Homo-oligomer: A and B are copies of this chain.
Amino acid sequence: MTNQKTVSIVGASGYTGGEILRLVADHPHLQVGQIVSRTYAGQPVTRVHPHLRGVDMPSFVEPSALQACDVLVLAMPHGQAMREIEKYAGLAEYIVDLSADFRLRTPEAFQRWYGEAHSAPAWLEKFAYGLPESNREQIRQSKYVSGVGCNATATNLALLPLVRSGLLRAERPIIAEVKAGSSEGGATANPGTHHPVRANVVRSYAPVGHRHTAEIQQVLRLTDVHLSLTSLDIVRGALATAHAFVRPGTTEKDLWKAYRAVIKPEPFLRIVKEQHGLYRRPEPKLLAGTNFADISFDLDETTGRVVAVCAIDNLMKGAAGTAVQCMNLMLGYDETSGLGFRGIHPV
């Protein structure tokens, strides 16, 4: 297909890189260009991405071999993209950076949460924050899009309807507890990811100070919102449980209205709130490999507490899937192109 745009990926040996490759390979309007990894240069992609067995795809190449392409996806560790952004901008018209380098809108916020000065502050305003549900029009008009933090995304999507509806009770804090799998930690082994240690854990990780808090505060425009993370013995998936308080008198019906208003128009958001059946609220396992975010809400009428829950696949809606959704927006394709997989059950 001569009209396909070429997507090259830098830092392609990580889990997000592997998912980008899978999605681009099956995308009707995109094709894989170069696959860059310093560590794995010269080796077949299947060495680290076994799900790509049988797919026609080039081997990893050295960073120095990178050539011009239509879309460049940067999937490097935090701090690298901002140092080389000028170089990459010379190679591709469109850039999606999956690191945290261009997620925050101000150098001050970056400094505060990432503990160093931003090395390319002028570029911050050129990047759109890549969450279509909160920022679609800006993404459509951008050449540069930043990826999203997975825990931030689950939390943001759970809470967006409450924020937009104005139902929140301002003086009360919002607490978001995200439960996540081991793929969030990336593809590099360390003593804490050794299977006998990591298996079966319910590990309080970053109970305070989690960096994704910054993205939540930025997207929701709230300050009194707090994030904790608990790591589970699953590989994929994140579930945000967000506790917020609504104004006295708020009813279940008000919440339905607020959630429907935000969720119904969105191609990848779904309300999962059922009286019957085996899965009555969002369940991350059902979303593995998909770009959906499933959302529920429960109201305690006595106390005004709302518990909003959002399940995602952290590597998809929380990273690679949303990135492809942004590419579709930037390039003018149907927003759902290449993102049709609906998941399997039982699983």
Contact = CB atoms under 8 A, between A and B. Distances in A.
B235 A204 contact: no
A298 to B, nearest CB: 4
Given A196-B183, A243-B175, A305-B208, A285 B226 contact: no
Interface stretch (A99-107, A126-134, A273-281, A326-334): A273-281
B195 A53 contact: no
Residue from A19, A195, A279, A286 with most neighbouring chain B CB atoms (10 Å):
A195
A51 B344 contact: yes
Interface in A194-208: 194-204, 207-208
Residue picked from A54, A187, A204, A288, most chain B C-beta under 10 Å: A204
Given A22-B344, A194-B187, A343-B51, A309 B279 contact: no
Interface residues of A, number: 91
A298 B342 contact: no
Nearest to A287: B51
Nearest to A210: B300
B51 A202 contact: no
Interface in A303-319: 303, 305, 307, 309, 311, 315
Name the residue in A182, A196, A237, A343 with the highest tally of chain B Cβ atoms < 10 Å from its Cβ: A196
A314 B15 CA distance: 26
Nearest to A282: B204
A97 interface: no
A228 B200 contact: no
A265 interface: no
28 contacts: A15-B345, A15-B346, A19-B344, A47-B276, A47-B277, A47-B278, A48-B277, A53-B272, A54-B342, A173-B173, A173-B305, A177-B243, A179-B232, A182-B196, A188-B194, A189-B190, A196-B346, A197-B278, A199-B199, A200-B234, A200-B347, A202-B283, A208-B300, A226-B303, A228-B243, A235-B346, A236-B346, A288-B347
